[in-house]
Amino acid sequence: AKEPMRVLVTGAAGQIGYALVPMIARGIMLGADQPVILHMLDIPPAAEALNGVKMELVDAAFPLLKGVVATTDVVEACTGVNVAVMVGGFPRKEGMERKDVMSKNVSIYKSQASALEAHAAPNCKVLVVANPANTNALILKEFAPSIPEKNISCLTRLDHNRALGQISERLDVQVSDVKNVIIWGNHSSSQYPDVNHATVKTSSGEKPVRELVKDDEWLNAGFIATVQQRGAAIIKARKLSSALSAASSACDHIRDWVLGTPEGTFVSMGVYSDGSYGVPAGLIYSFPVTCCGGEWTIVQGLPIDEFSRKKMDATAQELSEEKALAYSCLE
**Least distance (Å) between residue 120 CB and ligand NDP:** 16
- Burial class of residue 268, CB neighbours in 10 A (0-12, 13-18, 19+): buried
98 in a labelled binding site: yes
In the complex with ligand NDP, which residue's Cβ is closer, 244 or 292?
244
Q: Are 147 and 126 in contact (CB under 8 A)?
A: yes
115 in a labelled binding site: no
**Least distance (Å) between residue 262 CB and ligand NDP:** 24
Tell me how long the chain is: 331
In the complex with ligand NDP, which residue's Cβ is closer, 199 or 228?
228
CA pair distance 287, 271, nearest whole angstrom: 7
309 in a labelled binding site: no
CA pair distance 307, 304, nearest whole angstrom: 8
**Least distance (Å) between residue 321 CB and ligand NDP:** 17
Quick one: which of 55, 64, 67, 81 has its CA closest to 28? Answer: 64
Residue 193: asked if its preceding bond is cis (omega within 30°), the reply is no
**Least distance (Å) between residue 75 CB and ligand NDP:** 13
CA pair distance 23, 38, nearest whole angstrom: 11
Query: Which among 39, 119, 160, 187 is annotated as catalytic?
Result: 187
Residue 119 among the catalytic residues: no
12 in a labelled binding site: yes
Q: What is the per-residue burial (b if ≥16 Cβ within 10 Å, else e) of 152-181? A: bbbbbbbbbbbbbbbbbebbebeeeebbbb
275 in a labelled binding site: no
Q: Residue 61, SS3?
A: coil
274 in a labelled binding site: no
105 in a labelled binding site: yes
CA pair distance 296, 150, nearest whole angstrom: 8
In the complex with ligand NDP, which residue's Cβ is closer, 107 or 308?
107
Residue nearest to ligand NDP (CB): 14
Q: CA torsion sign, 72 to 78 to 80 to 84?
A: positive
In the complex with ligand NDP, which residue's Cβ is closer, 138 or 200?
138
CA pair distance 240, 261, nearest whole angstrom: 31
In the complex with ligand NDP, which residue's Cβ is closer, 35 or 89?
89
180 in a labelled binding site: no
Q: Is 18 left (phi over 0), alpha (psi -120 to 50) or beta?
A: alpha
CA pair distance 103, 136, nearest whole angstrom: 10
**Least distance (Å) between residue 249 CB and ligand NDP:** 8
**Least distance (Å) between residue 15 CB and ligand NDP:** 4
Q: What are phi and psi of 299, to 5 degrees?
A: -65, 125
In the complex with ligand NDP, which residue's Cβ is closer, 114 or 276?
114
User: Contact positions toward ligand NDP, by CB under 6 A?
Assistant: 10-11, 13-17, 42-43, 46, 87-92, 108, 129-131, 133, 158, 231, 241-243, 246
Binding site per annotation, positions: 11-17, 42, 92, 98, 105, 129-131, 162
Binding site per annotation, positions for NAD(+): 11-17, 42, 105, 129-131
Binding site per annotation, positions for substrate: 92, 98, 131, 162
- The residues assigned a catalytic role are 187
